[in-house]
Structure 1
Amino acid sequence: MKLMGAPRALVQRVHAGMGAVFGVVLFGILLTGAWSMAHEDLRAWFRGPSALSHKPAMAVEQWLEVAREKGMALDELRIRLPDSHHSVVELCASPGDCSVALDPANGRAVASGDAADILFNLHKSLFIGFPGRVLISLLGVVLLLMIWAGSALHSGRLQDLKRLRRDRGARVFAHDLHSLIGRWCGPWLLLFGVTGALSGLGALGTLGLAGQAFPGAPQQAFMHLLGAPPQVSAQASAARVDLDQLLREDAAAHPGFLAQNLALHRWGEPGAWVEVSGIQQGLPSTAVFERHAYAGADGVAVGTRSASGRGLWLQAFIAVQPLHFADYRWVPYGGPLLRAVHFAMALAAAVLVLSGLYLWLERRRLKAGAGWQVLLRLVVGGGGGLLTATAVLLCAGALGSGALAGWFWGSWLASLLLACVMPPRRQPLHLLLAVAGLAFVAAGGVHMVGSVRQGGLPLWPIDLVLLLCGASALWAVRRLISFTRAARAADANVA
């Protein structure tokens, strides 16, 4: 028994120690990751119900006229096309600069909705670029180790798959909730950990190995991965191509292909060509790898690049991005349902981490040392503050407020400062949850009412999620108050 107990004790220490050290950051990554899955929908949500006219789209040539009027060069212009998940036209001077957003029906400039980028960039890179991506990927490895340790610690009894004791106090409730989420969300947690780890570490490995594979010319590694530009005759000119007709012909030539981007190359010059990129049904890939090239006044096909047929490991690497961010448009059936489940599992994973942190704090509450107090303040101010700041950001966006980034960072900083100045026994968790709940409810309600007044509910799933998040936060406040009163009554009886 001693020999068998020692490994379990070691696993317990690893699980609890890693959760204590990385738990708050993991909670933030999982929470922002859930909202990042709805990034494009959130951008449309922040534009407001009256942002678009919902009329038939203009011809592509008219969008080019708008680009000329705004002083944008057409020689390397990239156009993000509207679809069911992306309601506006975006004109991009470069892949990373899509600052011009237009109503596809009339070319009128609309708000960019870039407030949604706050949560997306926080999850993707912590606002520090490529080093942040690598750091997030390392946290994916930490998540995998914690999943392994947690799975080893829990029994396989069937009754534990449904046990959630609500009448035995906060600690027992948190333990059952932690175990329940871990069991039911296990496959999704593995998906989050594996794809998160590969997202940044895979890119780092590619950078590191590029010089070894192609000595003196590491850029050839990326050309091999992404594909070289097509060979286009210098006499070819695409300036007179009917781009709308080209898109229709591309759709006919490639059934099941969803065009997302239209890129002009050397437009108006000899050797001009056009590239259509997007998602191919049945293939877990992205627009970076699924591309069709056309050249000449007749739009002759001059090249096709795809993840299909490129080897098992490379296809698995390409599939990481759509799987991680719940882009299931490549799934023939049930894509929206998978996306909804993916989002729910990410929120559940955040609750899993939060319940684990609570259990760690409860086990060490009686000692209440310096480390306990620091972690308590980080959990309340960092984790609870992030939840509150997210709700305030969405509420301010629904109310049409400006300076949304200021609302987000100001709310988070205020929560951290409040947690730091309050004594450990009087942490403002109830207050932060109440503010978050009310703000979520207000955000969903205000946006939904505005949408109804405009004659529809195009983004009702986000409004519904916000209302459910608000109701859950307010329910959590009620339960915390109930648990606190029960604990005080028990202490009084003992005294």
Structure 2
Amino acid sequence: MMGAPRALVQRVHSGAGGVFGLLLFVILLSGAWSMAHEDLRTWFRGPAALAPGPTLPLTQWLEVASRHGLTPEALHIRLPDGQRAVVELCASANQCTLELDPATGRELAPVNAADILFNLHKSLFSGFPGRILISLLGVVLLLMIWAGSALHSGRLQDLKRLRRDRGLRVLAHDLHSLIGRWAGPWLLLFGVTGALSGLGALGTVALAGQAFPGAPQQAFMQLLGAPPQVEPQAATTQALDLDQLLHNDAAAHPGFAAQSVTLHRWGEPGAWVEVAGIEQGLPSTAVFERHAYRGDDGQPLGTSSASGRGFWLQAFIAVQPLHFADYRWLPHAGPLLRAVHFGMALAAAVLVLSGLYLWLERRRLKAGAGWQVLLRMVVGGGGGLLAASAVLLCAGALANLGLLPPSVLPGCFWGSWTASLLLAALMPPQRQPLRLLLSVAGLAYLSAGALHLAGSLVHANLVVWPIDLVLLLGGASALWAVRRLTLFTRTARAADANAV
């Protein structure tokens, strides 16, 4: 145990869990859904939202952009890929608000409901300060992993023991130990990448002024690479064929998957084109993997990549794809790793929830102060988030059928979560609405999965069937948990009656 007294490690583990456990549960549960953010956007649009057919040529997207008031002089085009199903036209890489059908160029309605859980995980709706807070929670998670590993080190029986017939407390203890041992490497990944995601950005901003006094933007230029120097050439009568440029780029870089095309100074003598994407076998993002070409004749100007940039810089760049389960740089193992990543995130949320239950039970048995307040917060905040996310998805499935207007979806989420918090605050500790919230979550998840899957079968569009499967399994698991809680409660009451 690295020389630390066991009692101290126990206090650190339980104390950190009691103080930060609810926030960790919220971050982990919303983080699991954030991994499927683009798939959720497709799910909320519905199976009939996109027309079948091939993607329009890039040249036509310039005309579409002009119709929507975007000038080609500085245009960023996000291409559809394995995760993103639509084309996005943007004034810059950070200002993408226009989503279009790839086959027709038709403007699509925004899918704001899919961003709720993503923004909750990313910043708690608090911008950059929220990112820093979540990164600090990553540090807390690492501390709890260390303490938990120290407390359970050498206990091989924890790898397979799950006693279901010894009461709820024993089941929660075994489940906590089981998940902690098997999911340990993934928990470390969540903690390290989560901590570096925000704190790394904060450190970059803070150190940029020290490294380049008076010109901190040069630090980001060195990190991302300076734009190429383009010598103006004589005007050509024929415009550059952007589709042929993409074809040539794919031939020159066989392991590269293009995700976006950016036009710089288009129509001017010094125009150039940037193709960004993902390099096979390299954990990076399109921000760092870029190929530059002349805008007049398509001749290459240079490349920018995370490859060869040094171990620590490559590790920093890999944080983003590893944290959000973006394994497209592993085309064969990527889908399996993404599924395991999602499952481990849900398991981590269950780990935190079981730990909170054990902490509350110890405080209750010892008549400790504050356990009733935390109980209400856990039931209303944690159970309420589970129910609210289920209601949001069920409302989304109903909106796809035309039974609800899409504009009410955010209100369904916030109204459900607020109602759960109020109900938990008003109910006494012995009658907390946990089973009610789990029942709502189970029925809503089952309904959402079944309705969306039925619509997908009708339109022969099963692109996001894994989400429907997760919803069906999640709903069944929630209802199973309600049944187990009911059985445990009846058994405990019968034991108390016999004791009297």
The more displaced of 171-180 and 118-127 is 118-127
Residue-by-residue CA offset, 1:383-424 (whole Å, 9 max, x unaligned): 011111111111111111322111111111111011111111
Deviation at 1:366, TM superposition (A): 3.3
Deviation at 1:256, TM superposition (A): 1.2
Q: Distance in 2 between matches of 1:418 and 1:127?
A: 24
- Is the contact made by 2:30 and 2:121 (CA closer than 8 Å) also made in structure 1? yes
Letter in structure 2 aligned against 1:435: V
Alignment correspondent of 1:344: 343
Q: Where does 1:305-344 land on structure 2 (aligned, <5 Å)?
A: 305-344=304-343
Q: Where does 1:82-121 land on structure 2 (aligned, <5 Å)?
A: 82-121=80-119
Residue ranges of structure 1 left out of the alignment (5+ in a row):
none
TM-score normalised by the chain length of structure 1: 0.97
SS in 2 for 1:302: strand
SS in 2 for 1:77: strand
Residue-by-residue CA offset, 1:143-183 (whole Å, 9 max, x unaligned): 00000000011142322211000000000000000000000
Q: Where does 1:394-473 land on structure 2 (aligned, <5 Å)?
A: 394-400=393-399, 401=404, 402=406, 403-473=408-478
- Is the contact made by 1:279 and 1:286 (CA closer than 8 Å) also made in structure 2? yes
Q: Distance in 1 between matches of 2:4 and 2:181?
A: 24
Distance 1:5 1:298, change over 3 A: closer
- Is the contact made by 2:363 and 2:369 (CA closer than 8 Å) also made in structure 1? no
Q: Distance in 2 between matches of 1:360 and 1:54?
A: 53
Letter in structure 1 aligned against 2:205: L
Letter in structure 2 aligned against 1:271: G
Residue-by-residue CA offset, 1:326-382 (whole Å, 9 max, x unaligned): 001101421100000000000000000000000000111135555111100110000
The partner residue of 1:490 within 471, 486, 495 is: 495
The partner residue of 2:206 within 202, 205, 208 is: 208
Residue-by-residue CA offset, 1:254-291 (whole Å, 9 max, x unaligned): 11111111111111223111111010001000000000
Deviation at 1:5, TM superposition (A): 11
Q: Distance in 1 between matches of 2:424 and 2:369?
A: 15
SS in 2 for 1:364: helix
Letter in structure 2 aligned against 1:360: W
- Is the contact made by 2:273 and 2:295 (CA closer than 8 Å) also made in structure 1? no
SS in 2 for 1:287: coil
Alignment correspondent of 1:157: 155
Residue-by-residue CA offset, 1:25-72 (whole Å, 9 max, x unaligned): 000000011111111111111110001112111111112211111111
Alignment correspondent of 2:123: 125
Identity of aligned residues (%): 77
The partner residue of 2:12 within 2, 8, 14 is: 14
Residue ranges of structure 2 left out of the alignment (5+ in a row):
none
- Is the contact made by 2:441 and 2:475 (CA closer than 8 Å) also made in structure 1? yes
Q: Distance in 2 between matches of 1:490 and 1:195?
A: 46
- Is the contact made by 1:264 and 1:274 (CA closer than 8 Å) also made in structure 2? yes
Deviation at 1:251, TM superposition (A): 0.6
TM-score normalised by the chain length of structure 2: 0.96
Alignment correspondent of 2:280: 281
Q: Distance in 2 between matches of 1:215 and 1:359?
A: 52
Letter in structure 2 aligned against 1:49: P
SS in 2 for 1:99: strand
Deviation at 1:6, TM superposition (A): 7.9
SS in 1 for 2:55: coil
- Is the contact made by 2:99 and 2:110 (CA closer than 8 Å) also made in structure 1? yes
Q: Distance in 2 between matches of 1:5 and 1:245?
A: 64
